[in-house]
Amino acid sequence: MSDEISKQRTLQQNSALHLYLTQVANELVNQGQTMQNVVKEIKKVEITPTMYNLKEMVWREIQKAHLGKDSTTFLTKQEVNEIYDIMSKWLAVHFEIDIPFPVDEEKAYEVLKPTGYREQ
């Protein structure tokens, strides 16, 4: 068996993972918990912001709530602007961050790379 195959989770593990998460979700519902309560507890775990987790946990959640769309692939130019505006206002209020949306992405990445930008 190759290393790649032996490292991949099994179908049984995948089923077990889904069952486990379903059981956890049911218990949280029985306790009257909401995802907001669960997410608040994440604050007790140190998670460094990355492009990937910001996209998944902030941008995509705003996108889903505002547009009902899961994927960024099919967003219109206007929808990207709308999500940016919402996220930008939220970042300004909660973290005093005000970063304009990049116009020249390639140039912006080149500027960021020497200062520790990490693609994920």
Q: Please, what is the average pLDDT of the chain? A: 82
% pLDDT > 90, the chain:
38
| Per-residue pLDDT band at 109 (split at 50, 70, 90) | low
How many helices and strands in the chain, by DSSP H and E? 7, 0
Per-domain boundaries in the chain: 1-45, 47-120
The whole-number pLDDT of residue 19 equals: 85
Confidence (pLDDT) at 66: 96
Helices 60-67 and 77-95 sit at what angle, rounded to 10 degrees? 120
pLDDT at residue 52, rounded to an integer: 87
Dihedral sign computed on CA atoms, order 108, 83, 37, 23: negative
For 58-95, what is each residue's pLDDT tens digit?
Answer: 999 999 999 999 999 989 989 999 999 999 999 999 89
Alpha carbons within 13 angstroms on the beta-carbon side of residue 43 total 6
